[in-house]
């Protein structure tokens, strides 16, 4: 009987050890299959551009395919709702940016703080005020004067309701005392293309979204929305120093996952990418400044950002119209 008991004990120990070893191997092997990153905006915008820069580096790190999937609509709500329903298995992620349509649409049932696990901060970028070259303005003061002369006639494009350009411009309207008409799209790419084509006249979008059109002379940049002048658009004054004192707006970019996902593996991989000088160079060229954070610090930052923009929405009376 003692021999049988010892045999059973040894067998149990072996099974337990095998399970631990298998778990360690599984963890060490991540990822063992393709990783999906959802972008809740259309191709061509700043979030999409930055995601694809990072995905190229992650492909090399993982030796697995990183699939970037655009799920645009409703000011990012479509993509957020889709990603929130994916398994929290370490193979499904979301890269998002400043966009708070879900705070405007109370029926969205998602938000970045309670619905997702905060994984990693990528960086920030300034906003930039750009106009179609045929609009007869070259400064912020000239734009404000024209808008006051033609109230409700100038159209501005945005990436969608609650998206970064929407929030920026509504804040700008409030502080400048002007009336501009909102034309929302499903992402920054389609929105900025519309302004370059002249169907809408202006946008206050992120530098990574607008900079290609500015460099191609299809848009005229007249000011940046950051706290200081931006090296990616040299010579441009800030909106604050150009006629709207105190105006300041920057966009953040970050990585999220469905709730209950362990963030550690992807956090390490994103930070490794952000330590790559070539990745940093490419992000900088697009106007994005890398800012790394711990997962805990990033989660706290998301709470403060959501609270800040909820106040802006209330004060500026931003609606879904």
3-state secondary structure of 72: coil
What span, in angstroms and rounded, lies between the C-alpha atoms of 256 and 111? Answer: 11
What does the DSSP assignment read for 253-272?
EEEEEETT---HHHHHHHHH
The Cα–Cα gap between 181 and 166 comes to 10
Query: Per-residue pLDDT tens for 47-102?
Result: 999 999 999 999 999 999 999 999 999 989 999 999 999 999 999 999 999 999 99
| Distance (Å, whole) CA 235 – CA 251 | 21
Q: Give the model confidence (pLDDT) of 265-285 as tens digits.
A: 999 999 999 999 999 999 999
Average pLDDT over residues 158-172: 92
Whole-prediction pTM: 0.84
In whole angstroms, give the CA distance from residue 119 to residue 103.
21
At 28, the pLDDT band (50, 70, 90 cuts) reads low
Instruction: Report which secondary-structure segment, H or E, holds 79.
Output: helix 77-84
pLDDT for the residue numbered 67: 98
Tell me the two tokens of residue 248.
């300041």
Looking at the chain, the whole-number percentage of residues with pLDDT higher than 70 is 91
Interatomic CA distance for residues 1 and 197, integer angstroms: 87
pLDDT higher at 320 or 58: 58
Q: State in words which class domain 126-242 has.
A: alpha beta
Q: Do domains 28-124+251-315 and 126-242 have the same CATH topology?
A: yes
CATH, domain range 28-124+251-315: 3.40.190.150
Domains of the chain, by residue range, sit at: 28-124+251-315, 126-242
């Amino acid at each position: 009987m003692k021999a049988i008991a010892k045999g059973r004990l040894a067998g149990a120990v072996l099974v337990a050890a095998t399970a631990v070893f298998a778990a360690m191997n599984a963890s060490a092997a991540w990822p063992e299959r393709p990783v999906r990153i959802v972008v809740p905006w259309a191709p061509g915008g700043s979030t999409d551009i930055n995601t694809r820069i990072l995905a190229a580096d992650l492909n090399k790190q993982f030796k697995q395919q990183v699939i970037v999937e655009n799920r645009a609509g409703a000011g990012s709500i479509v993509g957020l709702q889709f990603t929130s329903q994916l398994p929290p298995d370490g193979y499904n992620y979301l890269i998002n940016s400043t966009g708070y349509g879900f705070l405007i649409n109370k029926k969205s049932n998602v938000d970045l703080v309670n619905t997702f696990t905060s994984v990693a901060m990528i960086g920030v970028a300034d906003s930039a005020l750009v106009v179609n070259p045929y609009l007869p303005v070259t400064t912020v003061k000239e734009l404000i004067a024209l808008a006051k002369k033609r109230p409700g006639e100038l159209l501005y494009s945005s990436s969608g309701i609650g998206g970064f350009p929407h929030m920026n411009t509504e804040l700008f309207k409030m502080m400048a005392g002007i009336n501009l008409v909102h034309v929302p799209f499903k992402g920054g790419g389609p929105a900025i293309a519309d302004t370059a084509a002249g169907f809408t006249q202006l946008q206050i979008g992120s530098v990574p979204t607008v900079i290609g059109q500015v460099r191609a002379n299809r848009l005229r940049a007249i000011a940046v929305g950051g706290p200081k002048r931006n090296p990616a658009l040299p010579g441009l004054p800030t909106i604050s120093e150009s006629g709207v004192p105190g105006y300041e707006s920057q966009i953040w970019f970050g990585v999220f996952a469905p709730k209950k996902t362990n963030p550690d593996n992807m956090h390490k991989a994103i930070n490794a990418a952000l330590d790559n000088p070539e990745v940093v160079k490419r992000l900088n060229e697009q106007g994005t400044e890398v800012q790394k954070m711990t997962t805990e610090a990033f989660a706290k930052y998301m709470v403060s950002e959501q609270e800040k923009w909820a106040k802006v929405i209330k004060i500026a009376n931003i609606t879904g119209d």
